Amino acid sequence: MCPGDKSISQRAVILGSLLNEDIAIKGFLNGEDPISTANALNAIGSSITIQGTSVTINKRDIPFRNPDKEVDLGNSGTGMRLMMGLISSLNLNATLVGDKSLMKRPMLRVSNPLNEMGASVVCNEGRPPISISEGKINNNFDYVMPIASAQVKSSIILAAVAANKNVTVTEKHPTRNHTERMISYFQGNIKSTPEDLGNKIQYTSSKLIPTSTYEVVGDFSSASFLIVAGLIAEQSNILIKNVGLNPTRCGLISVLKSMGGIIDIQNERMVSNEEVGDIHVVSSSLKGISVGGDIIPNIIDEIPILSIAASFANGETLISDAKELRVKESDRLQAIADGLRKINIQHELYEDGIRITGSPDDISVCPEINSHGDHRIAMSFLIAGLRSKNGIYVKDCANIFTSFPNFIEVMSSLGMKLNER
């Protein structure tokens, strides 16, 4: 069973708190990032209780309030950026902080449009801490996004929802649309219209109608590690159940199929306005391809594990137009290159991508790889250990718990030998 979707889990507790009714959330990702977002909401007056993968949001008798201290979002860039939009519209005063990694991440991409919208958000040289004070959100704000970012888009839309204002956001390339789908699920007036290569999203102020329950589908980004593991391992045959298959998220499937991956989707259905299905994967002989352009925003979080698939494919794989990877939890392009060098995979690093010359042969080195404090780098190179004759040691894997808390348990159940030091 695939763990709950991290992005959807965070949006569910935010919108659920705005609805201010008793709501039970099932399938919540009980990982550090969603928990940080839930704790941040409780700090401004929400009443959220987490028990495993079940979350209860209780109706509040009082409005949201100023937090008593700095609001700590841990490692969650999504949580910080979405909370910036929410808090900006609630006439609150708050300071948002995070861990060492999060305090280095760029936030002007969110604060600038929010300030144009009428909020009062101040960054520290473009990075956290984020100071938010009372502002006045303008009606009918129209914003064209200069970069493809679901977090920026969602922050602006959440600000409009919380302030009961209309807003239009135009994205030049499609990004994940969980916020739009969740608002629609709660009967909010939101529509997305194709425009050029992207979308124009229009939210019209409307009363959201709560439901007593909301079910979070499985996280495709987490499933991607299992998918690639199934493709590169010898004689594998696995079925990954309950995986979210939102078209704005699952582009990796088409990429891996074009590389020769044998992947079959079964039991397709809709859950809480999200596509979901079971993914059947068997061992495959992969070949190198070129990946770039419009598909990149769709697969941006999966590029580290795609790089592992490319490492054991026959021929060259070129990944381009992925400069956004340099401002994730780590400089992921550099982190990928550092790891590939340790496992003797020929590659060439570019400012916006990487060229990988793969081979179907197993590797014989036993390297020590630095995760750079990044959960996706850590998990990707642990998966690469499936093709190492002598194993792979990855340093600093505690970050895995931000997004895939039962990674070790799941991979062990599939026969992978993982030992913690």
Selecting among 301, 321, 338, 374, the annotated active-site residue is: 301
Q: Are 55 and 29 in contact (CB under 8 A)?
A: no
Active site residue 142: no
Work out the number of other CB atoms within 10 angstroms of the CB of residue 47: 15
Q: Are 284 and 260 in contact (CB under 8 A)?
A: yes
CA distances from 285 to 257, 302, 343 (A): 11, 20, 20
- Burial class (CB within 10 angstroms; exposed 0-12, middle 13-18, buried 19+) of 293: exposed
How far is it, in rounded angstroms, from Cα 225 to Cα 212? 33
How far is C-alpha 198 from the chain's CA centre?
20
The terminus-to-terminus CA distance of the chain in angstroms comes to 27
Q: Are 180 and 37 in contact (CB under 8 A)?
A: no
CA neighbor of 219 nearest in space, from 302, 292, 323: 302
| DSSP-derived 3-state class of residue 316 | strand
Determine what percent of the chain falls in helix, strand and coil, rounding each to the nearest 5: 35, 25, 35
Angle value at C-alpha 167, between 164 and 173, nearest 5 degrees: 140
Q: Beta-strand (E) ranges in 13-117?
A: 23-26, 48-51, 54-57, 71-72, 94-97
- Burial class (CB within 10 angstroms; exposed 0-12, middle 13-18, buried 19+) of 197: exposed
Say how many residues make up the chain: 421
- Burial class (CB within 10 angstroms; exposed 0-12, middle 13-18, buried 19+) of 266: exposed
Helix (H) or strand (E) holding 239: strand 237-244
Which residue numbers are catalytic? 301
